[in-house]
Amino acid sequence: MKPLQIVILAAGKGTRMYSEKPKVLHALAGKPLVQHVLDCAVALQPQQVCVVYGHGGEAVPQAMRQYPAQFVVQEPQLGTGHAVQQAMPQLADTGQVMVLYGDVPLIQHSTLHRMQQAGDGLVLLTVNLANPTGYGRIVRNGQGDVLGIVEEKDASPEQREICEVHTGILLAPAKQLREWLNKLRNDNAQGEYYLTDVVGMAVQQGVTVHTVQPAHEWEIHGINSKAQLAVLERTWQQVEAARLLALGVTLADPARLDVRGKLKCGQDVEIDVGCIFEGEVSLGNNVQVGAYSVIRNAVIADGTIIAPYSSIDSSEVGANCRIGPYARLRPGSKLHDEVHIGNFVEVKNSEIALGSKANHLSYIGDSTVGSRVNIGAGTITCNYDGANKYRTIIEDDAFIGSDTQLVAPVTVGKGATIGAGSTITKDAPAGELTLSRSKQITIAGWKRPQKGKK
Ligand code: UD1
Ligand code: MG
């Protein structure tokens, strides 16, 4: 294949978004629009990627700085042809140049790959639309050869009847593209330098114009408003749901699932309604995810059941665990197999070993918990003195009575028992009962206070 250079147009203001943020930084499936396009571009292994930005100052290059791309400013914005012109000084004359749009986020690798294989000359990505309003129309002769693209505002009534439209995406020989761009003029209805005018120039020079169609219409949908963004978000979520169903995942309702990243599922996974998966999430075989759970950047091993309304962030959960309902695993939590984390239990930056349980109303932070430990209801680790954080260590087979405060740094030894209601500030020895509690007394004949007479 010929060397490839990619230009991504992202200078538009997005007036109809009614936002301070540049349009291409609004998120679809949890990721900025332009980042979808960059990911797709990079996957084609081009020699060069050049993003043309404008509105929103440095926000776009700032947000995308992790990409191996050049950022070129277009100021003022005088049309799509003018935008590509700004990128040309960064590009070599060898190979081909592909133009993508920062606000057309769902373009797929396979479609662009087919464009690369379409042959020499100019390659346009076109689509037949039932309602072509607003798009540039593909004008062909009697033999079906492409003659040019005419923009909606410049089209005759007959041309407006044409249903084959230009998606904006094209692939052109670099050297010729440079020549054509130099010849662009803005004597049209919008007073803009139209990139699409290069098609007519190519035809005049006898360059073949190929057309390729995307596999799915949603690939070429552009975003101009929050309404269009919401519709395309739902479309993408349907695509994700269909992919998961095809792999054998049970979805209680494919219309009530949100995947904002990459979700990997083993066999016989069941996902109830309203769940959100963010970043990279991996669910092992037979995992069940209860309704309205939010799971981000997590690995959940085989057979684990996550009950409804649980939140798991940047954590690892072993096999056959029981999590929730209403459990919260914060970043850095690592649960080994058969751990139970129950309702209103928060775990942060802690490791909990095989078969340990914290079933009710607890905070376990910066802790190392051994195997077969039972943590009674209401137990909390006091890991923070207002300035620094300290670790709590609870060794194997310890039993922590309910409503205990473990003031870190502190260690509870192997097999130790802590009496309920204790505030533990010193290490508790292995195998012994430790408690810190004033003795229960009864005051005989005590009377409740009475309201005074006025
Ligand atoms: C363009 C095409 C049209 C096609 C349509 C598909 C031209 C002249 N027309 O029209 O044939 O059917 O896309 O959606 O190319 N942009 C810049 N700088 C500019 C102007 C635009 O970066 O100076 C960017 C915009 O941010 C946007 C993209 O280019 O991402 C398309 O611009 P837009 O003005 O929406 O083009 P259309 O009029 O829709
Ligand atoms: Mg326009």
DSSP string, 244-286: HHHTT-EES-TTSEEEEEEEEE-TT-EE-TTEEEEEEEEE-TT
**In this structure, are 208 and 282 located in the same domain?**
no
Taking the C-alpha atoms of residue 193 and residue 78, their distance in angstroms, rounded to an integer, is 6
Ligand 1 atom closest to Cα of residue 102: 30
Give residue 373's domain range.
226-434
Ligand nearest to the CA of 16: 1
Provide the annotated active-site residues.
Answer: 360
Ranking 14-18, 253-257, 391-395 by mean pLDDT, the lowest is 14-18
Number of domains in the chain: 2
Any idea what the CATH number is for the domain that residue 93 is in?
3.90.550.10
List all residues 6 or more positions away from 271 whose beta carbon is below 8 Å from its beta carbon.
244, 249, 250, 251, 252, 257, 288, 289
Question: Of 220, 240, 271, which residue constitutes the final position of a domain?
Answer: 220
What distance in angstroms lies between residue 236's CA and the mean position of ligand 2's atoms? 25
Banded model confidence at residue 29, pLDDT cuts 50, 70, 90? very high
What distance in angstroms lies between residue 168's CA and the mean position of ligand 1's atoms? 7
Taking the C-alpha atoms of residue 228 and residue 237, their distance in angstroms, rounded to an integer, is 14
What distance in angstroms lies between residue 152's CA and the mean position of ligand 1's atoms? 12
**In this structure, are 205 and 307 located in the same domain?**
no
Pocket test for ligand 1, best of 80, 126, 154, 224 (most atoms within 8 A of CB): 80
Kindly give the pairing relationship between strand 122-128 and strand 164-173.
antiparallel
- Give the DSSP H or E segment for 322: strand 322-323
In a domain, 196, yes or no: yes
- CA-nearest of 145, 152, 96 to 120 is 96
What distance in angstroms lies between residue 235's CA and the mean position of ligand 2's atoms? 24
Ligand 1: residue whose CA is nearest its atom 25: 12
In a domain, 453, yes or no: no
Ligand 1 atom closest to Cα of residue 23: 26
- Give the DSSP H or E segment for 380: strand 380-382
List all residues 6 or more positions away from 119 whose beta carbon is below 8 Å from its beta carbon.
208, 210
Mean pLDDT, the chain, as a whole number? Answer: 97
Question: Of 163, 194, 220, which residue constitutes the final position of a domain?
Answer: 220
Which long-range CB contacts under 8 A does 91-94 form with residues at least 24 apart? 91/5, 91/7, 91/48, 91/50, 91/174, 91/178, 92/3, 92/5, 92/47, 92/48, 92/174, 93/174, 93/175, 93/178, 94/3, 94/174, 94/175
Ligand nearest to the CA of 138: 1
Ligand 1: residue whose CA is nearest its atom 26: 12
Banded model confidence at residue 19, pLDDT cuts 50, 70, 90? very high
pLDDT in the model for residue 453? 84
What six digits make up the tokens of 34?
A: 């332009």
* Residue 27 pLDDT > 90: yes
Taking the C-alpha atoms of residue 64 and residue 146, their distance in angstroms, rounded to an integer, is 36
Residue 57's identity, in one-letter code, is: G
Kindly give the pairing relationship between strand 137-140 and strand 146-150.
antiparallel
Cβ atoms within 10 Å, residue 377:
19
CA distance between the termini of the chain: 98
**In this structure, are 414 and 347 located in the same domain?**
yes
pLDDT in tens, 177-218: 999 999 999 999 999 999 999 999 999 999 999 999 999 999
List all residues 6 or more positions away from 125 whose beta carbon is below 8 Å from its beta carbon.
111, 115, 166, 167, 168, 169, 170, 211, 212, 213, 214, 220
**In this structure, are 215 and 335 located in the same domain?**
no
Dihedral pair phi/psi, residue 62, rounded to 5°: -60, -50
Ligand 1: residue whose CA is nearest its atom 27: 12
In a domain, 440, yes or no: no
In a domain, 94, yes or no: yes
- CA-nearest of 70, 104, 103, 101 to 87 is 70
Residues with CB under 6 A from ligand 1: 9-12, 52, 74, 77-80, 82-83, 101-103, 135-136, 149, 151, 165-168, 194-196, 222
Instruction: Determine contact, residues 90/24, Cβ cutoff 8 Å.
Output: no
Ligand nearest to the CA of 77: 1
Banded model confidence at residue 1, pLDDT cuts 50, 70, 90? confident
pLDDT in the model for residue 56? 86
In a domain, 443, yes or no: no
What distance in angstroms lies between residue 12's CA and the mean position of ligand 2's atoms? 9
Ligand nearest to the CA of 154: 1
Ligand 1 atom closest to Cα of residue 54: 22
**In this structure, are 55 and 76 located in the same domain?**
yes
Packed helices 109-116 and 33-43: angle between N→C axes, nearest 10 degrees = 50
- CA-nearest of 330, 335, 332, 298 to 320 is 335
Ligand 1: residue whose CA is nearest its atom 2: 168
What distance in angstroms lies between residue 141's CA and the mean position of ligand 1's atoms? 25
pLDDT over 70, % of the chain: 100
Residue 417's identity, in one-letter code, is: T
- CA-nearest of 373, 357, 284 to 322 is 357
Ligand 1: residue whose CA is nearest its atom 32: 80
